[in-house]
């Protein structure tokens, strides 16, 4: 009786093992291939990191205006030209597109402009007139090009010795210049400015000429700036010109001989800044006055309806003008266009509140 009692548990264990094995096979058949319990878990394939978005081009600062401009927009040279200011030469073409305008005394008590374009170059500019002895000192810091109609040989030689590309009406046979039929000679020479820029596009852009600040750069107490509604300037006994502050447009509006000064577009001639420099006049060339542009002297900056007094200096022909307030603080201009009035010591400058 003892034998059967001992074998019965063994049979039960064998039956249970067989049943478990069968169940495992059944599960495997229903669920596909069985995985080993010791196999490492599978991982999802690593996703590639997204490429960083390209940064938009950063705006540039126009060197002759201090204004923001699209990247790459300043990568071209400046174009300067001698522009006539005789009564028969008015209205001039392209003055309000200019970045910087120098007004200088010429013979007979008249004035003439040396105008520099860079941020915007009009299709045409003019009337173009002859060069004067101070012009190499004014244009050299800009590099680029200068256009003029000729001049006394000594003055032409001086300009051609300057490190700028000379575009001369008297020597040109390529069609860069033409005479405007509706204008009286010699106040009728017009330059194809767009074509001049295309031909010389590989020249480097100009370096900055002034330091720029806020739209109201003279509001700090150290400048002791005084409110100014009108600027009256005299280069000689005749030919008065004036600037009036227009708060609505944040611009100085120009007059000549008591009448609004208009350009060919019909717009009033205007500027963001008016820089008045008291200069000496050299009479080495007889009837042709030479503005002494290298040196130092008295200066005024008029911007945003205020005027600050100070000094100007220009260390050499290839250096720009530097402006400092009476306490030695550097003077910054408001971003925008600038007229530089080179008023002779014998002339006058008045700033009315």
Banded model confidence at residue 47, pLDDT cuts 50, 70, 90: low
- Please report, to the nearest 10 degrees, the dihedral formed by the alpha carbons of residues 215, 220, 226, 227 taken in order: 40
Residue 21 pLDDT more than 50? no
On whether residue 66 sits in a domain, the answer given is yes
On whether residue 36 sits in a domain, the answer given is no
Chain segment 32-43, per-residue pLDDT in tens: 333 444 444 444
Residue 77 pLDDT more than 70? yes
Please tell me the distance from the alpha carbon of residue 314 to that of residue 318, in angstroms, as a whole number.
9
On whether residue 54 sits in a domain, the answer given is no
Banded model confidence at residue 30, pLDDT cuts 50, 70, 90: very low
Domain count within the chain? 1
Banded model confidence at residue 49, pLDDT cuts 50, 70, 90: low
Q: What is the CATH classification number for the domain harbouring 269?
A: 3.50.90.10
The rounded mean pLDDT for the chain is 89
Chain segment 129-142, per-residue pLDDT in tens: 999 999 999 999 99
On whether residue 178 sits in a domain, the answer given is yes
Count CA atoms within 13 Å of residue 129 on its CB side: 22
On whether residue 114 sits in a domain, the answer given is yes
- Kind and range of the H or E element at 2? helix 2-31
CB-CB contact of 335 with 212 (8 Å)? yes
Banded model confidence at residue 46, pLDDT cuts 50, 70, 90: low
Give the domain extent around 156: 60-352
Give me the mean pLDDT over the 84-112 stretch: 97
On whether residue 51 sits in a domain, the answer given is no
Chain segment 339-350, per-residue pLDDT in tens: 999 999 999 999
On whether residue 13 sits in a domain, the answer given is no
Phi, psi at residue 60, to the nearest 5°?
-100, 170
On whether residue 121 sits in a domain, the answer given is yes
């Amino acid at each position: 009786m003892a034998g059967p009692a001992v074998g019965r548990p063994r049979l039960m264990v064998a039956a249970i093992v067989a049943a478990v094995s069968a169940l495992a096979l059944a599960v495997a058949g229903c669920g596909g291939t069985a995985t080993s319990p010791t196999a490492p878990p599978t991982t999802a394939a690593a996703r590639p990191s997204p490429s960083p978005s390209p940064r938009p081009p950063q705006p540039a600062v126009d060197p002759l205006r201090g204004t923001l401009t699209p990247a790459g927009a300043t990568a071209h040279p400046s174009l300067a030209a001698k522009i006539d200011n005789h009564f028969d030469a008015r209205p001039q073409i392209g003055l309000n597109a200019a970045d910087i305008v120098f007004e200088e005394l010429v013979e007979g008590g008249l004035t003439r402009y040396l105008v520099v374009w860079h941020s915007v170059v009009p299709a045409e500019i003019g009337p173009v007139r002859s060069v004067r002895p101070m012009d190499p000192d004014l244009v050299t810091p800009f590099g680029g090009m200068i256009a003029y109609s000729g001049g006394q040989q000594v003055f032409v030689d001086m300009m051609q010795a300057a490190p700028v590309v000379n575009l001369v009406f008297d020597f040109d046979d390529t069609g860069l210049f033409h005479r405007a039929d509706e204008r009286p000679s010699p106040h009728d020479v017009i330059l194809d400015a767009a074509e001049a820029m295309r031909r010389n596009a590989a020249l480097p852009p100009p370096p900055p000429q002034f330091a720029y600040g806020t739209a109201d750069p003279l509001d700090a107490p150290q400048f002791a700036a005084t409110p100014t509604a009108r600027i009256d300037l005299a280069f000689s006994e005749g030919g008065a010109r004036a600037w009036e502050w227009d708060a609505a447009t944040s611009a100085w509006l120009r007059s000549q001989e008591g009448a609004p000064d208009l350009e060919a577009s019909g717009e009033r001639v205007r500027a963001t800044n008016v820089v008045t420099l008291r200069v000496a006049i050299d009479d080495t060339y007889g009837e042709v006055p030479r503005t002494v542009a290298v040196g130092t002297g008295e200066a005024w900056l008029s911007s945003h309806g205020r005027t600050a007094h100070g000094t100007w200096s220009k260390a050499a022909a290839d250096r720009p003008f530097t402006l400092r307030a009476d306490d030695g603080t550097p003077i910054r201009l408001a971003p925008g266009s600038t007229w530089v009035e080179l008023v002779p010591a014998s002339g006058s400058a008045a700033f009315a509140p």
